[in-house]
Amino acid sequence: MQLLIQSTSDNTVTLRAQIARLERGDRRSDWGVLPFGDSSVDACMPYGGLQLGHWHEIGGDGMERETPAAATGFTAALAQRAQRGGAIIWVLRRDDLHAPGLQAFGIDPDRLILVRVDKDDDVLTVQEDALRTRGVTAAIGEVDKIDLAAGRRLQLACEKSGATGFVLR
């Protein structure tokens, strides 16, 4: 591919897209955007909403770190909207998720798979495998922390499959 550099502002967008394609290589990363539906929120988000085919980290502050009900509900609502007819995999370390309560967020229990593991590393491994699995459109992993290498592996899995990942801290 040959880059043509022109000075007009109309071609700046084209040039940026060409550079992004070169940086990406053969990985597809334009899986669309999930708008929040509120123009004041969407205007603050890059691309006008939550990018599908990427992973997103969600966490709370204060008491939400101990009992993250609001962050869990928010993540469930996002996963349901990103589901697009596929399965949602939820990987957790504790047995404190009230699965029937997820129906309040529109999650179909027939399209939800819960996986319980013991360590953060196992959560991220299972989540990465889930994101690479055909038919999975969203995968949620509950972890205390995530390192750069694990984040990169999740991103590559999302880009390749188009599934959206959520890391709930």
- Separation between Cα atoms, residue 67 and residue 92, nearest integer Å: 14
Give the residue-averaged pLDDT of 106-128: 94
The pTM assigned to this predicted structure is 0.78
Q: What pLDDT is recorded for position 5?
A: 45
Backbone angles phi, psi at 115, to 5 degrees: -125, 125
Each residue's pLDDT tens digit, 52-98: 999 999 987 766 666 678 889 999 999 999 888 899 999 999 888 88
Q: Is 128 helix (H, G, I), strand (E, B) or coil?
A: helix
Each residue's pLDDT tens digit, 127-148: 999 999 999 999 999 998 899 9
DSSP string, 26-53: T------EE--S-HHHHTTSGGGSEETT
- Separation between Cα atoms, residue 88 and residue 84, nearest integer Å: 10
pLDDT classification of 99: cutoffs 50, 70, 90? confident
Q: What pLDDT is recorded for position 85?
A: 87
Q: What pLDDT is recorded for position 24?
A: 58
